[in-house]
Amino acid sequence: MALIETHNLTKRFEKLTAVRKLNLKINEGEIFGLLGPNGAGKTTTLSMLATLIPPTDGWAKVNGFDVAKQASQVRHSIGFVFQDPSSDDLLTGRENLYLHALMYGVDMRDINKKMDEVLKLVDLTERQHERMKKYSGGMRRRLELARGLLHEPKILFLDEPTLGLDPQTREHLWKYIKKLSTEKKVTIIITTHYMEEADMLCDRVAIIDHGKVVALDTPSDLKKRLGGDVVNLKVRNPNVVAVRKLRYVKNIKVADGFVTLTVNDAGRHLQEIFKKIGNVESVESRSPTLNDVFLHYTGSEIRESGEEGGHFERMMHSGNR
C-alpha cells in the first residue's frame, strides 16, 4: 500500500523550476532515499510533502490525505528529524520530549508512557534527566529521533540524519532507523549525501537531478545497471578513441588525469585495455558502488545549493509548522 503518492508534482519559484512532474509511490514500512546534488529538488520535494509550501502543479497524497487540501491531517501523520538539531539545550531530554508532546496534542494520560517507550527505543533512558547541552552529537540525533516518533507518526522524514557524526555513531543510528521500519512499521524518507548510508538503509532510492527523477530502483539493481566492474586508470595522453571501440567497455569518463571505465569482466580484459589506452601509471578495479551510480546519472561537477535549498529549514523555523 502506497502511503505517499505524487502525480506530476511540480514547484516553480519565479524563473526556477525546482521540481518537475515528480511521480513517486512510497510503500508502507519502506525506507526510501531521496538522493541528488545540491539544488536538485530534494528539499523542495520534502517541503511540499510536509505541507510547508504548496505545489504549483500536480498533486501529492500523504497517508491518503491531499497535501494542499488536507494539510492538518497530513501534519498529524508525519514526524521530522532535521539536519540541524532543534531541541532546547537548557531543557533535559525528557523535558524536550514533554514540550513536543504538548505541541502535538498527545493525550495527557499517555504522555509519560510514550516518553518512556521512545527513550527506551533510542537507549536514552539513563540520560533522560540530563540537560541537552551535555549530550554528544550522537545522543542529540537519537533524541531527535525519539521526539519525531513521540506522536506515533506513520511517516518519518529524516533530513541528513547522520551528517557530521563519527562512523561508529552513524552505524548505531542506522540500527535505530532499521528498527523503526521493521518493528514499528514506520515509513521513512531519507535525504542523504552519504551513498553508503543509502545503500545500507534504503529499500529503494530515487536519484533526483534538476528537479526530475533520473533513476529509481533498489540500490542493488541500480548498481547492476552500470553493467560491469569500475576500472580507474591514471594515464598520460589516453587513447580514448581506441578504448571506445572495445565491445566490453560500457562507459568512459575522463577527468583530472584519470580515465574511469565500466567494463564487463574487467579481470579478463585489463591487458588489452592497457595496450589500447596508452601509458598506464596506476590502476584500480572494483565492483560498482551506489556512488558510481550517483555520478553516472548526475555527473561529477560540484553544484551550488541554488534557490531551492533551505526552504524546508526556513519554513520550519518561521513557525509555519
Domain range enclosing 190: 2-218+303-317
- Which run of H or of E encompasses 158? strand 155-159
Contacts by 122-125, CB closer than 8 A, 24 or more apart: 122/146, 122/176, 124/93
- Residue 267 has a pLDDT of 84
Q: Give pTM, 2 decimals.
A: 0.80
294 within domain boundaries: no
- Do residues 209 and 298 make contact, with C-beta atoms less than 8 angstroms apart? yes
295 within domain boundaries: no
**pLDDT (tens digit, 9 = 90+) per residue, 78-120?**
988 877 777 899 999 999 999 989 988 888 999 999 999 899 9
The angle that helices 111-121 and 137-149 make with each other, rounded to 10 degrees, is: 140
CA distances (Å), origin 186, targets 30, 130, 158: 8, 28, 12
> Are 103 and 129 in the same domain?
yes
- Residue 312 has a pLDDT of 41
67 within domain boundaries: yes
Specify the number of domains making up the chain. 2
**pLDDT (tens digit, 9 = 90+) per residue, 10-69?**
999 988 999 999 999 999 999 999 999 988 999 899 999 999 999 999 999 999 999 999
- Residue 36 has a pLDDT of 92
> Are 264 and 162 in the same domain?
no
**3-state DSSP call for residue 25?**
strand
CATH number of domain containing 254: 3.30.70
d(CA 232, CA 224): 18
Residue 262 in this model has a pLDDT that exceeds 60: yes
268 within domain boundaries: yes
